[in-house]
Amino acid sequence: MKKVAIIMGSDSDLPVVSKAADTLKQFGVPYELHIYSAHRTPAEAKAFSETAREKGFGCIIAAAGMAAHLAGAIAANTTLPVIGIPMKSKYLDGIDALLSTVQMPSGIPVATVAIDGAVNAALLSIEILAVSDEELSKKLADKRASDTKTVLEKNAAAEKQYNF
């Protein structure tokens, strides 16, 4: 199976981004996690992107906050699919990172998830790998069914408590 890379701009992103790692683990998808910054360690971020395909990665998740150029800088150096997570920061609530990540120029796509959307980033990366992996695709369908069941159970409990 192809691996997923999780790259983040700072260790301060870890508490949120580790949820992407947890999700990949739940699905049995191999991953690597690295802290590389587009601004503070641009050489490492570039080298990783340029060699990711030959190292067996199928998708890259890139999380960054503030002037968040990491996902775009990675996408500029690979044709692997790149998923950007805009991270919330204390000044502008993540709107700065959202706009920096999502507004890519034509030709260099970044699939941007919600602010702090680490779980969805992981799920999207799994969906990308599952295009050519039946077993993974079945796991995704099972998870959807189980999530739906949970919500319907909550609905039943709420209806029972509040409706008369």
> Mask 130-149, x = binds ligand RP5 (CB under 6 A)?
--------------------
How far, CA to CA in Å, does 70 sit from each of 34, 43, 162?
A: 12, 12, 47
Q: Which of residues 62-121 bind ligand RP5 (CB under 6 A)?
A: 64-66, 87, 89
> Mask 27-66, x = binds ligand RP5 (CB under 6 A)?
----------x--------------------------xxx
Strand, coil or helix: 66: coil
Rg of the chain on CA atoms, in Å:
17
Task: Write phi, then psi, for 5 (nearest 5 degrees).
Answer: -100, 135
CB of 144 to ligand RP5, least distance (A): 30
Q: Is 12 in the site for ligand RP5 (CB under 6 A)?
A: yes
Binding site for ligand RP5 (CB under 6 A): 8-10, 12-13, 37, 64-66, 87, 89
